[in-house]
Structure 1
Amino acid sequence: MSDEQHDGIRPFKPVRRLDARSLRGLAHPLRMAVFEMLTLDGPATATGLAARLGENTGTVSWHLRQLGRHGFIEEEKERGTRRERWWRVVEETREVETGEFREDPGTAGALSVYLHELVRQYCTRVTDFLTEDWDGAWRRASTVSDWRDLRMTPEQLAAFNAELLEVVARHTPPPGAEPGPGALPVIVQIQSFPRRPRSALPEGGAS
């Protein structure tokens, strides 16, 4: 799977496939929250992030250094001072092959944290949108939808996802492109996965 929670689909960006060490470096609830804020809202300092998260500045600063150590973010030296460091996200597309980590006791826990936090962030973004005050044009243009009548093989599902990513890529502007009048950042969340029919599960719940 591609970790496009933060970046969108940009074929012109370098692709980084996370290994066990980098996955463990990212898989922490607060660290992922910090990383998400930097990705969605741009560079920030430990002080600014701590205020938004309701956390101690020293704690946030430590997590920023860990993200930097693992190559997820970098210091914006031209903007920082001796007392205040600014951090920005390293521009790249991150890929996580979950099958590589599920059977490894050393990384299974980190993978679980990473995936659960990822899904929580997805849900929070949708909830925030639904509770915020948006005008009618944005409400009509947006959608929160699902489809349940599809039947696919693994190969068909992979091809389906590839087509969706191609559509997102076509609508992703190159770096430095100026947005059109009235344009706002748009988040696209694509979640497609198989579901076992209830008739295929044992009595009493999921397997």
Structure 2
Amino acid sequence: MAENEKPVPDDTRELDARSLRGLAHPLRMRLLDALREYGPATASQLADRLGESSGATSYHLRQLATYGFVVEDRERGKGRERWWKSAQRGIRMGVDELLRDADPSVRGAMSTMLYELATTHGQDLSTWLGSWREWPEEWRRAWDISDWTVRLTPELAAELRDKVHELIQSYREKEVGQDAENSARFRIHLHAFPRDED
């Protein structure tokens, strides 16, 4: 591990070239995201949620299992009914390394994954904007859409990113249970990148 590199939390999967190839497919990314956000489900339940065929979700769940992203939830289901759950809580990517990989298929997989993430983030925000009036007043006061521009060095930018990640992680440790009154899944997107002077 490099001197300035942070350790990977136990509940986080660090992508390498092989695992990236197993995940960098739009439906697989959506399946994994749904399992992480909504909990264990069957291929049929996921097909209904995502508007896909159960054959497609079943196939891609098996592929995700091959690469260790999902596992069978053996505590659920009866008979032939297979329930799936995420094997980890999060993913960490060495984006720069994977985008510079000597193998063009790795670079392509990383690009696919990044563009799919950007699309998903946009869809999540659009869904919120289309439904915010349906939420209680407390939630309508708690959301945010902001942007800032600050002049930083790469070192300061990395420091800022790391501090934001640490702050969000501290709230993961405060998470309330699903039965907590007036609780909801709270989605956080972070986009941070340099801008050209022009």
Under a length normalisation based on structure 1, what TM-score does the superposition of the two structures give? 0.83
Letter in 1 for 2:91: R
Answer whether contact 1:13 1:93 (CA < 8 A) is retained. Answer: no
Write out per-residue CA displacement over residues 130-177 of structure 1, whole angstroms, 9 at most, x where no aligned residue.
1112222211111111112x00000000111111112112211368x6
Q: CA deviation at 1:60?
A: 0.8
Residue aligning to 2:55:
58
Q: How does 1:158-177 map to 2 (within 5 A)?
A: 158-173=158-173
Closer, same or farther: CA 93–33 of 1 in aligned 2, 3 Å: closer
Residue aligning to 1:194:
194
Moved over 6 A (4+): none
Residue aligning to 1:72:
69
Answer whether contact 1:20 1:101 (CA < 8 A) is retained. Answer: yes
Answer whether contact 1:76 1:88 (CA < 8 A) is retained. Answer: yes
Q: Which runs of 5+ in 1 are unaligned?
A: 1-10, 199-207
Structure 2 counterpart SS, 1:171: helix
Q: Which runs of 5+ in 2 are unaligned?
A: 1-7
Structure 2 counterpart SS, 1:101: helix
Closer, same or farther: CA 138–115 of 1 in aligned 2, 3 Å: same
Write out per-residue CA displacement over residues 61-109 of structure 1, whole angstroms, 9 at most, x where no aligned residue.
0000001111111100121233210000012432111222223313011
**Pairing 1:96–2:93 present:** yes
Letter in 2 for 1:147: W
Residue aligning to 1:203:
none
Closer, same or farther: CA 135–169 of 1 in aligned 2, 3 Å: same
Q: CA deviation at 1:120?
A: 0.9
Q: CA deviation at 1:12?
A: 5.5
Residue aligning to 2:145:
144
Question: What is the rounded CA distance, in whole Å, between the counterparts of 1:182 and 1:121 in structure 2?
Answer: 26
Answer whether contact 2:13 2:88 (CA < 8 A) is retained. Answer: no
Identity level (%): 39
Residue aligning to 1:134:
135
Structure 1 counterpart SS, 2:146: coil
Question: What is the rounded CA distance, in whole Å, between the counterparts of 1:141 and 1:34 in structure 2?
Answer: 28
Structure 1 counterpart SS, 2:13: strand
RMSD between superposed Cα atoms in Å: 1.8
Residue aligning to 1:118:
117
Letter in 2 for 1:78: E
Q: CA deviation at 1:55?
A: 1.6
Bigger relative contact order, structure 1 or 2 (CA pairs below 8 A, ≥6 apart): 1
Residue aligning to 1:16:
13
Write out per-residue CA displacement over residues 24-63 of structure 1, whole angstroms, 9 at most, x where no aligned residue.
1000011111111111111110111112222221111000
